[in-house]
Structure 1
Amino acid sequence: MDERQLRVLRELGESGSVTAAAEALRVTPSAISQQLRLLQRSVPVPLTERSGRRLVLTPAGQALAGAAIEVETALARARGTVGEFLGRPDGVVSVAAFHSAAAVFGPDLVRATSGPGSPTVALADEDVAQSEFPPLTREYDIVVGHRLDHTAPWPGTVSVTPLLHEPMDIALPTGHPLAARTRLTPGDVADQPWITVHDGFPLMATIEAIAAAAGRRLHLAHRVNEFAVVAEIVAAGGGIALMPRWTTRPHPQTTLRPLTGVHARRHIDALHRPERTARSAVRTVLRHLRTSAEAISSRDGTDEAAT
């Protein structure tokens, strides 16, 4: 038995005939009869009987029709509760982000949602391979992930809110001979020791593209995923590295130079399950992320927020 069948039974009892019930529910009499037959299959005693030319409720049917009122009342209350939950501007919104994105978006989200009536943001860091970001949307309302220009797009199982299209620059120790150049090519940097991420993480595809463009393998001296640590190793003279232009804090002893000859940009996107944005609070946090992304990309006088 389901809600529609119980509503039909209740309407039949109140209106007194199949025709009147059909008019009240704005369906055909045959649709009323079909719903009654389906309901009767789930109940071991007769619910209706003939009284002359009219179909009326049996005592069992009257009892079930009375219970239907309670069912509809409970369902209406449940719908109201869900609607209130979805429409509430506050409530907890869980946001996961990889480390460098968490460092720039996290503080902005905390500040933007600090007022009364705002969502409560629950932040988490998740530094995973590209393919592992979409599954995280099962655990979090919003997942901030990144992928390179030439890697596979996000799967259709998640909705995507673009945030940034961020350049990846070459980080050099201040005073390094290559720092005197305004731009660098794969040939310029191929013979340097490198500090790069572990295999499987998004930036490795660009490292491989640099090696292919230069026509030789790179010397991967250090494997470190955390950009703050990478910057310290670069500053100490341990090698060069690919560094995001906007989402890492500048280091006083490193210099960033643009790289030409390969695609050296990454997409930073907010991933979420489509149904999550039914909540007003989740939509509010997504708007804050977009506003934060626009501010981040404009700090060096450019406008590279994703569109």
Structure 2
Amino acid sequence: MRRVLLPLELDDRAPPPGAAVRELHGLSMGTSWSVRLVDSPLPGRAGSADVQQGLQQQLDLVVQQMSHWQPDSDLGRFNRAAPGSWQQLPAAFGEVLGFALQVSQLSGGAYDPCAGTLVNAWGFGPENRYDQPGFRAPAAATVRQLLSQRGQIEFDISTRRVHQPGAVQLDLSSVAKGYAVDRLGRYLDSQGIAHYLVEVGGELRGAGCKPDGQPWWVMLEQVDGADAACHPAEMMLALHGLSVATSGDYRRFFHDGTVRYAHTIDPRTGMPLTNDLASVTVVHAQCMAADAWSTALTVLGIDAGLALAEQQGLAVRFVRRDGQAYQEYLSSALLALLDD
């Protein structure tokens, strides 16, 4: 049985008669991006080279400011800044960091953009990676030392000045991709393009509808390798003024002997997750929010995560491993989107 999720609010603007879907795509942030947009039948800019260039420039800006893979990014410079120094952040970086710190506070530290040293130690950063020869998981003593050394930044959101106390490594990989999706959407809006589907590395945002009047239908991500008979029924979402992001422990992981380590680190313990959550999907008006919250709720686990989702009014699907089967838990806000 396939279930359907529908937006609570509808935009009644329709594509012009004779419009067609055009596709643009490229590479950024270590992954691919694509845009499907509805173009007027008359000669216009929607499918032109300057729109392609404009979209790529939006992504290049995110990389330039927030990549922890590029040493010369603004984030890279902050991570190398002298202890006790203050750094002035550009606007986009400041917007994302401010939101990430808000999610960190609301989640009780289950989400932390300042946990880059732990992410790096477990091989999920730009160097000494888990999939490279010679990698070894950090010893318990090393994890304890990193936790004890991790400081807290001060961030003045009004001036976008941030204090580097020393040893803080920012990592915005669990929010910057979602922000990039939002940024592409805002760029298309600014160009007068009202009907589109944006995707960056599997995270999506849709607006308007297709030329036939149908919304941009997408399937919520299923757990890779799961037996269809053991997995909850498929769920299809009309991406109309909505974004969706999924965090899953099946995406990146490694085995160290008999232990399987997932790529999501609990910043409170410094250890990879072991809470049986296979995936957490968040549907939200902002892809940045869907991205960050899917990670935070994954770390919290089903009980605390569902409670926080209810408190914050978040539309969330949790999928938990139960032996060979999978159990599904839906927040009230997601249930409200279900077409009965």
Instruction: Give the TM-score normalised by structure 2.
Output: 0.25
Higher strand share: 2
Instruction: Give the TM-score normalised by structure 1.
Output: 0.27
